[in-house]
């Protein structure tokens, strides 16, 4: 590696990879994807690998500066990673079944009808969990719900009937049903167990 090669990489590698992180973050913002701190770490690791791959495949005779070339490589790598993550989520969502879903083995009825009527999810969880763990799981469950779904859940816990909840929240029967499917979906409820 000669001094000219180092001049290409040095701005990205100094100050704890500050420039590479800045370029990566600007790309994340354009994707408009919610990312956790762990996701950022994953993408910064991908950016680091992409930097070296871009450096090894960069040809100055292409007529593009290294900065532009690297930016394009990072965009492609991040798009591919996001598509991969969404594909994984779609596969999981296909496997999730709502308790309100119609039972395909029989002509009528939903899975909810199979669950005994005196079954109480929260009560069952409380039996199995110690107090602190239970609170933690409830918080994680609630964090996955929208504000409207939380309002529905609170009204249900206060003993309101479905038609009363729809009137109070001024929502249609379809909106109520859709929200209940999400509230009861296995994907959300499994956190409680």
In the chain, domain spans: 3-95, 111-192
Burial class (CB in 10 A: 0-12, 13-18, 19+), 180: buried
CA 152 to CA 142: how far, in whole Å?
12
Interhelix angle 37-57/66-95, rounded to 10 degrees, is 140
DSSP secondary structure letter of residue 103: P
CA distances from 168 to 160, 161, 163 (A): 10, 11, 9
Model pTM above 0.85: no
pLDDT at 28: 75
> Which of 89, 115, 103, 110 lies closest to 177, judged by CA?
110
User: What is the residue-level pLDDT of the chain in tens, covering all 193 positions?
Assistant: 555 666 777 887 788 788 888 888 888 777 666 767 777 788 888 888 888 888 888 887 878 888 888 888 888 888 888 777 767 666 555 555 555 555 555 555 555 555 555 656 666 656 655 555 667 777 887 888 888 998 898 888 888 888 999 998 999 999 999 998 888 887 777 776 6
Domain 111-192 falls in which CATH fold? Arc Repressor Mutant, subunit A (1.10.10)
pLDDT at 93: 58
pLDDT at 68: 87
pLDDT at 172: 92
Burial class (CB in 10 A: 0-12, 13-18, 19+), 189: middle
pLDDT at 120: 63
pLDDT at 175: 92
> Which of 42, 180, 66, 31 lies closest to 112, judged by CA?
180
């Amino acid at each position: 590696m000669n001094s000219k090669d180092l001049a290409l990489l040095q701005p990205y590698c100094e100050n704890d990879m500050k420039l590479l992180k800045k370029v990566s973050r600007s790309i994340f913002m354009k994707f408009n994807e919610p990312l956790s701190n762990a996701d950022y770490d994953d993408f910064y690791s991908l950016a680091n690998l992409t930097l070296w791959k871009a450096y090894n495949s960069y040809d100055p005779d292409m007529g593009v500066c290294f900065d532009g070339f690297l930016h394009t490589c990072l965009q492609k790598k991040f798009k591919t990673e996001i598509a991969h993550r969404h594909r994984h989520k779609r596969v999981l969502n296909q496997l999730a079944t709502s308790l309100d879903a119609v039972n395909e083995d029989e002509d009528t009825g939903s899975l909810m009808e199979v669950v005994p009527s005196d079954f109480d999810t929260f009560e069952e969880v409380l039996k199995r969990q110690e107090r602190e763990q239970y609170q933690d799981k409830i918080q994680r469950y609630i964090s996955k719900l929208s504000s409207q779904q939380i309002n529905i859940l609170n009204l249900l816990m206060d003993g309101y009937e479905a038609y009363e909840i729809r009137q109070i929240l001024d929502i249609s029967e379809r909106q109520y049903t859709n929200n209940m499917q999400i509230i009861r979906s296995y994907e959300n409820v499994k956190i409680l167990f």
